[in-house]
Chains A and B, each alone.
Chain A
Amino acid sequence: MTANVIVVDLGYGDAGKGTVVDWLCARGPYATVVRFNGGAQAAHNVVTTDGRHHTFAQFGSGTFTPGVVTHLSRFMMVDPLALAAEADHLAAVGVGDALDRLTVDRDALLTTPYHRAANRARDTALRHGSCGMGIGETAAYALVCDDAPRAGDCHSPARLRRRLMRLRERLFDELGPLEVPDVEECAAAFGAFAGRARITGDGYLPGLLRAGPAVFEGAQGVLLDERFGFHPYTTWSTTTFAGAETLLAEAGDGARRLGVLRAYLTRHGPGPFVTEDPGLLRPEPHNRHGRWQGAFRTGQLDAVALRYALEVCGGADALAVTHLDAPAPLICEAYDLGARIAPAADLTGQALLTDRLLSARPRYSPVGADAAGTIEAALGVPVALRSCGPAASDKTAVSIWTRTDFSRRAIA
């Protein structure tokens, strides 16, 4: 049976994927973290047992474990500028070789200062919870222009400059002049990135997987998925297991699917949040009000939304529940909508669903003393990992990985 594992957030993000990935890598046997969606807007917080803290954005959250390498797959949007700052911070907290342990697929899209500026210019008009990092712009530009800059272009200065030039022109045409660095400066920095990070081609990831099992680290959460999230409060990224499974299938491999959730719910920025309960607000050392993203919101457990997440992502083999030291007192088993919430066929349908959710009221029952047990029963998926704090030492594995019923989804 394959030992790979895919870690995906079943909620709106912030459930603790970083801490789960860190724990998995610290315990072994994983020597590789593969990122398969999103980009530099991810913020996966990891605190080591000796108190060091890093917010992982592009590096895999297993990087504190010596030797663990990160591969940014072609489904990632890579921001070489933010990557440099992140590597510097990792060096400051004792991880000096993070860039040496990084590989980037040459087909990964690049997020540039131009995307970022366009994102911010647009978002002052339309607020839907963007991070202001240019991720949506990166994805949108690549959909309409087949010469979007990609990681591999950083090895080809002339082509990179041409592509950056065209990108900048098109965004200026659309939005007027933006405050951005000029193309030469940007190309120089991207070229330096290519001189430092290893950019790889087809066949690299399959080789890496043959060498040993990997953790596939998702970003954001299933409820923010570009197709299944509550439109328009979504991210320009597939946040389900799909991207990871595509990469694994290409490599002739498979993985276990681990869904992560908090023992209460959170959401950054606007959008439906049926069980929102401001009275539940807990101290959040690492999640703050974002200038572009909006408020950090908390709420009671929501079995309806989580079941929806499981349904749209094709189910999980096991759950990892974090923040069990402070679980929500209530769990919502039903909304007063009189109908099941189900994915629609298109974004118009998803927007209608969003409207219904904005007026839905939760029906609660108490969580009880055994929060993990309540969640397991409500979602019908076994809990494999319980976490009561930020560090790996705050986590307890339940011996779920060997349960027989667990193998139903695993690929032999």
Chain B
Amino acid sequence: MGSGIWSTNVYDAAASYRAATGASAFAYSDGGATAVHEDLDPFGVTVRESRDSDEHPESLALAVLFDVTGSMGNVPRTLQSKLPDLLGLLMRKGYVEHPQILFGAVGDATCDRAPLQVGQFESDNRMDDDLGRILLEGGGGGQMTESYELAMYFMARHTAMDCLDKRGKRGYLFLIGDELAYPKVKAREINKIIGGEQVEDIPFAAIVAELKRKYDVYFIIPEGAYYSADDRLADFWRTQLGQNVIRLDDLDAVCETIALTVGLAEDAVDLEEGLDHLREFGSGAGSSVSRALAPLNSRRGAVAVSAMPTGLDPADTEVTRL
């Protein structure tokens, strides 16, 4: 029992919270780490798995990988503070009942200490721990190219998920960045960073096609990153991913954008309803999300519930997910 020993003055409290800078959410990176955390190191990883369980009988895999190189500026820090809300957003309105979320980071395999970092698919807030362990590379190439192709190779060949294996339903992959990919997945980099005995380079278009058989792939370009205004960027990704390129003018809205994109694709909601939900949550992100997703919404077509037959390149099909 007590007697209200701590001050409840509203001004003191506000000042105190403002003054408390606290440990960075990127505690691992800011603690002076210079190498990929062992939990996120892709080397030697056979598969990262998203599996059904008693608790989550119909799991749905959702991966978010973001660029952590210098050209992204403070974007990774903003993402890190926003992404933990993603699970709650997806589940609250029933867009997805049992999401399992993986976070990862993309760097530049030609010169970075952390060219690829990949956590686990998690259905609870342990994914936050993965976020906290991501090494913020900074640096980067300066040639408007990062090793997205390596990350996409990993996601295509080194992930496994029950939503696809058991129900023929693809997962979702969101890449967030401001640069182009290299034209080939280099065998040498695969062997060095992921491990294995890959003998031939893989053309980028081939790995994209392979990846799209497993995932609905989206590329989010945040405003404010170094190259985000460069048209070559959007053009490059549109060539690969069609309409699944999202320009986002308010990074604070990243969670809402991802959640609504999934909600739309799952046919759980339409854009108007989704924007209503955002207002209901008290989110001010509605207008940004609306601008970001309007192109997707207007091209919305049939919702595929089964994976593409093997060998059929989804880029060539009329069946879109949105």
Contacts and interface: CB of A to CB of B under 8 A. Distances in A.
Contacts of A133: 4, 8
B8 A193 contact: no
A159 interface: yes
B318 interface: no
B125 A201 contact: yes
List the 8 closest pairs (A to B, CB-CB), nearest first.
Answer: A43-B2, A156-B282, A13-B1, A290-B3, A192-B17, A159-B282, A203-B124, A84-B13
Nearest to A188: B14
B22 A185 contact: no
B282 A157 contact: yes
Interface stretch (A74-82, A337-345, A366-374, A400-408): A74-82
B1 A293 contact: yes
Contacts of A79: 8
Contacts of A80: 13, 17
Given A80-B13, A185-B11, A203-B87, A41 B20 contact: no
Nearest to A116: B8
Interface in B83-113: 84-85, 87-88, 91
Contacts of B18: 192
Nearest to B22: A100
B16 interface: yes
B77 to A, nearest CB: 13
Given A40-B6, A131-B2, A85 B16 contact: yes
Nearest to B89: A201
Contacts of B284: 157-158
26 contacts: A42-B1, A57-B5, A57-B6, A80-B17, A81-B9, A82-B4, A83-B13, A84-B12, A84-B17, A131-B2, A158-B279, A185-B14, A189-B14, A192-B14, A195-B17, A200-B125, A201-B87, A201-B91, A201-B125, A203-B87, A204-B124, A207-B125, A211-B126, A220-B1, A290-B2, A292-B3
Interface stretch (A60-68, A86-94, A298-306, A385-393): A86-94
B8 A156 contact: no
Given A160-B282, A288-B3, A292-B4, A84 B16 contact: yes
Contacts, number: 146
Interface string B214-247: 0000000000000000000000000000000000
Given A87-B16, A113-B10, 15 more contacts: A13-B1, A55-B6, A82-B8, A83-B6, A83-B13, A85-B12, A85-B13, A106-B88, A131-B3, A159-B280, A186-B10, A188-B14, A189-B10, A193-B13, A292-B4
Interface in A204-234: 204, 206-207, 211, 220-221, 224
A116 B20 CA distance: 25
B13 A155 contact: no
Contact of A113 (B2, B8, B20, B280): B8
B317 interface: no
A14 interface: yes
B283 interface: yes
Given A43-B1, A80-B13, A203-B123, A85 B7 contact: yes
Nearest to B279: A158
B23 interface: yes
B147 to A, nearest CB: 31
Given A14-B1, A81-B7, A292-B3, A193 B17 contact: yes
A199 to B, nearest CB: 9
Nearest to A163: B282
Nearest to B125: A204
Contact of A196 (B11, B22, B126, B128): B22
B5 A55 contact: yes
Interface in B1-53: 1-14, 16-18, 20, 22-23
Nearest to B19: A88
Interface string A49-71: 00000010100000000000000
A145 to B, nearest CB: 17
A220 B3 CA distance: 12
Contacts of A196: 17, 20, 22
B78 to A, nearest CB: 13
Contacts of B9: 81, 85
Nearest to B280: A159
Contacts of A290: 2-4
Q: Which of B2, B10, B13 has the most CB of A within 10 A?
A: B2
A159 B281 contact: yes
Contacts of A158: 279, 282, 284
Interface in B250-283: 279-283
B91 A202 contact: yes
A43 B22 contact: no
A132 interface: yes
A97 interface: yes
A81 B13 contact: yes
A181 interface: yes
B22 A206 contact: no
A291 interface: yes
A203 B17 CA distance: 27
A168 B173 CA distance: 45
Q: Which of A43, A55, A203 has the most CB of B within 10 A?
A: A203
Nearest to B21: A196
Given A82-B6, A133-B4, A221-B1, A189 B13 contact: yes
A331 B156 CA distance: 72
B124 A41 contact: no
A41 B17 contact: no
A81 B1 contact: no
Given A81-B13, A82-B8, A188-B14, A293 B3 contact: yes
Interface string B269-305: 0000000000111111000000000000000000000
B5 A43 contact: yes
A211 B122 CA distance: 14
A22 interface: no
Contacts of A313: none
B87 A85 contact: no
A153 B88 CA distance: 13
Contact of A268 (B1, B91, B123, B128): B1
